[in-house]
Chains A and B, each alone.
Chain A
Amino acid sequence: MADTGTLPYKASPVSPLAPDRRYLARKFHGRFMAGLITVAALVGVSVLWLILGYVIVRGAPAINLDFFTQRPLPYGEVGGGIAPSITGTLLILAVAALIGVPVGLGCGIYLAEYGRGSVVEVIRFCSDLVAGVPSIVVGVFVWALLVRHVVGNFSGIAGAVSLAIIMIPIIVRTVEAVLLLVPYTLREAALALGVPKWRVVISVVLPSAKAGIITGLVLAIARAGGETAPLLLTTLGNQFFSWNLLEPIGAIPIQLYNYAVAPYPDWHTKAWGAALVLISVIGVLSTLARVATWGQSR
C-alpha cells in the first residue's frame, strides 16, 4: 500500500490535449460523411429541379392560349388544346375531395382522439393496406362496382370515387399524426374549463393542427390528381367539355397518355405541355394551401 514507486497506468509520452492521429482520422471521417450527406441532399433536390426543368423545356413550346381554351383536334392535326381535360381534372378532383376529405378527416380524428385499444390497430392496419393497394387495382374495383353496375357506364363520378379511395388513407395517416403532435396539455386545459370533448377537438385540437392538416389534404389531392390508371378504367376520358358526372369526363393524365403514345411529334410536345399543366395545377393547389395557412401557428 505504501509502495508509490509504480503508477497504476503508463503515462502517455504526449499530452492528452495534443491532437493525435486518431483524432485526425475521426475529423476526416466526420467531414467525409457530412460531405456525403450534403451530396445526397443535393441529388435529392436536383432530381426535382431536373424533372421540373425538363418538363418546362419540353412543354413550354406547347403552351399558348389555345392550349388552355381549345379542345383536342383529330389525330395528326397541328393545334388544339387540352381545355376539357383541365376542367375535367378540376371537377373530378373537387368531387373526389368532397368524398374523401370528410371521410379521411373523420377517420383521422377518430384514431387520434377517440379510438381505444384494438379497434384503432385494426383501422390503422386497414388504412395502411388501402394505401398500399396499387391504384390500378382501385380502378378495377371501381370499374367492376360502379362502371359495370351502379352507374352502368364510364362516368366522372366513378373516377372521383376511385381518386377518393386513393386519397382517404393518405389523409387518415397525416391527420392522425398531426393531431397526435398537439400537446396533451392543451386538451387538458380546455377540458379543465368544462368544455365538452367534441368541443375540445373542434375548437382547440383542430385549429392547433390546422397547417399540418391542410398540408396533408393538399398532399392527398396532389397524389390523386396525378393518377392515370384508375381514371382510364373509370372516367374513360373525353375530348369534349363535359360537366355531367354520370358521363365520361376528360382528365389531364388521360390526355397526356393519349398524346404521348401517338406517332405525331406535335402530340408529343403537347404531352409535355400537359405534364407541365398538371404540375402547375398541383403547384397552384399547394400554393393556395400555403397561402391559406400563412402566418398561422405551426
Chain B
Amino acid sequence: MNTNQAATTSRRSLFARLSATVTGAALLAACGGDAEPAKAPAAPPIAAKAEPTKAPAAVPTTSAAAAPTTAPAPASSGAVAITGAFDGEAKTLTGAGATFPAALYSKYFNEYNKLTKVEVNYQSIGSGGGIKAISDQTADFGATDSPMTDAQLKEAKGGEILHIPMALGAVVATYNIPGLETTKLRFTGETLAGIFLGTITKWNDPKIAADNAGVKLPTEDIVSVHRSDGSGTSFVFTDYLSSVSAEWKAKVGASTTVNWPGGVGGKGNEGVAGEVKQTPFSIGYVELIYAVQNKLGVGLIKNKVGQFVEPNLAGVTAAATAAAGKVAPDLRVSIVDQDGATTYPISSFTWILAYKQMTDAAKATALTRLLWWGTHEAQKFNGDLGYAPLPAEIVSKGEAMIKSITGAGKPAFPGK
C-alpha cells in the first residue's frame, strides 16, 4: 500500500513537472503573441531620397512613424486605387519564388500591410522554387525571373497561370581586376560568351583589348564565376548570350540551370558577388543591386545598335519600352538585346505567377488587389531599390490580366 502510494505520488509529480515545463513554453509563446506589434518603426530606406510613406487615414496605425501622410498616389492608375482594407478579402497570402525581387517585394508587402492590414508572406526560394510552388498550389502566388515554359505551364495543377510583370531589372557583368578598380571595362556579347565558354582565357586577349583601347589589361588568366543554383539571373544572362552568340546558343543555350563549360560556382547573387570580391582577375554576373551594394566593378555592355551602355535603370526602362510594342499577349517575353541607343541589353522583367481561375474567392480578391497596388502605387518604390518601374504599356496589359482573374467563378478584382 505504502509503496503504491509513494509510487503514485512520484508519478504525479513527474507529470506535474512535465506539464509545468510545457505550460512554461506555452506561456513564453503567449508572451510573444501579446507583444504582436501593430507598428513598424521608422527606418530609413536604402536611399536617402525616399518619399514619406503614404498612409491613408482609413488605416489607423499606432506608429508615429507613419505620420507623414500627404503624398498623393501616382495618377497612372486612373480612378482605380487601393486605399485601404476591403471587406471579404483574405487577410493572409503566401508567396514564394525569385530571390532577385525579394528586396523589392519585402518593401512592397511591408507597405501594403500598413495600408490594408493584409499580411503577404513572401519567401525567396529561387525562381525554380516559385514555379514549383505555384504549379503544386503550395503557395498562393509564385514569383520568377524566367518565364515558365509551355511544358511547365501544362504541368500546373490549377489550370492557366498568368505572368504579371512587377518590375524590371538588369544583370551586370562584374569583375575584380587589381589595378583597374575604377576603370569601367567594355564588353561585347561575343567577348562575354567567349569568356564564359572558355575560348577567351586571358584578360589581355585581343578581343577584349579591341573594345578597351588605352586600358592596360593584365596578362592574368580569367576566372569566370557563375551561379551554382537554379537561377532566374542565370536565365537572363544566358538568354542574352544565346541571342548574341550563335556558338553559345549551340553549345550551351538559355536556362535557369546551365551546363557551364567551366569556371567556378557561387550560390545565389550573394555567392557570386562574394566569389568575385575574393578572387582576383575574376568575372561574374549578378543583379545590378548586388553589384552596387557590394561596390564591385561593373562593365559596360555593347547593345544592339553598337553603343556601350552602363547598366542603370534608364537603360532597363529603354529596353522594356523598345520591347513593349511586340510583347506576346501573355507577357512572357524576353527583353534582352533590344533596339535603342540607350538600351541596356541584359534586362529582364520579373513576374508574379498567379492562377487565372482561383478557387478561394477571398484569396483571389486579396491577390488581385495586391497585384493592382503592386503594378500601380507601389512602382514608386522600385527606383530606390535598384529596379526600374514598368512602362505604361506593360502596366495596362497587366491591368487586363488582373481583371481577368476569377475567384470561385466570379471576377475577383473589386475595382478598389
A-B pairs, top 3 by smallest CB distance, nearest first, are: A203-B7, A75-B103, A87-B32
Please list the residues of chain B having a beta carbon within 8 angstroms of any beta carbon in chain A: 3-4, 7-8, 10-11, 14, 17-18, 20-22, 24-26, 28-29, 32-33, 35-37, 40-46, 92, 94, 96, 102-103, 106-107, 109-110, 113, 119, 121-125, 133, 136-139, 268, 270, 273, 290, 293-294, 385
B94, A248: Cβ atoms closer than 8 Å: yes
Output the least CB separation between B267 and chain A (Å).
Answer: 8
Q: Distance in Å from the Cβ of B188 to the closest Cβ of chain A?
A: 29
**Nearest CB in chain B: distance from A48 CB, A:** 24
Instruction: Given A76-B385, A193-B3, decide whether A238 and B25 contact each other with a Cβ distance below 8 A.
Output: no
B94's closest neighbor in chain A, by CB?
A248
CB atoms of A206 and B11 under 8 A apart? yes
B94 CB contact (under 8 Å) in A77, A153, A262: A153
Which of chain B's residues have a CB closer than 8 A to the CB of A80?
Answer: 40-41, 43
Q: Which residue of B lies closest to A72 (CB)?
A: B106
Residues of B within 8 A of A94 (CB): 22, 25-26, 29
Contact with A147, one of B26, B40, B138 (Cβ below 8 angstroms): B138
Q: Which of A208-250 contact B (CB under 8 A)?
A: 210, 214, 232, 236-244, 247-248
Instruction: Flag if A207 contacts B43 (CB, 8 Å).
Output: no
Interface-side segment among A62-70, A116-124, A173-181: A62-70
Inside 8 A of B32's CB, which chain A residues have their CB?
68, 83, 86-87, 90
25 A-B residue pairs with CB within 8 Å: A68-B35, A70-B37, A74-B103, A90-B28, A94-B22, A94-B26, A147-B136, A153-B137, A154-B138, A154-B139, A203-B4, A203-B11, A207-B7, A236-B123, A237-B121, A240-B113, A240-B121, A241-B36, A242-B92, A242-B121, A248-B94, A261-B268, A263-B294, A284-B28, A292-B21
In the assembled complex, the Cα of A75 lies from the Cα of B27 at a distance in Å of 31
B residues less than 8 Å from A83 (CB atoms): 32, 35-37
Q: Contacts A77-B43, A80-B43, A292-B17: A239 and B29 contacting too (C-beta < 8 A)?
A: no
Q: Which residues on B sit within 8 Å (CB–CB) of A243?
A: 33
Given contacts A153-B94, A190-B7, A206-B11, 5 further A-B pairs with CB under 8 A are: A68-B35, A73-B110, A74-B109, A80-B40, A83-B37
Cα A71 to Cα B40 in complex, Å, equals 8
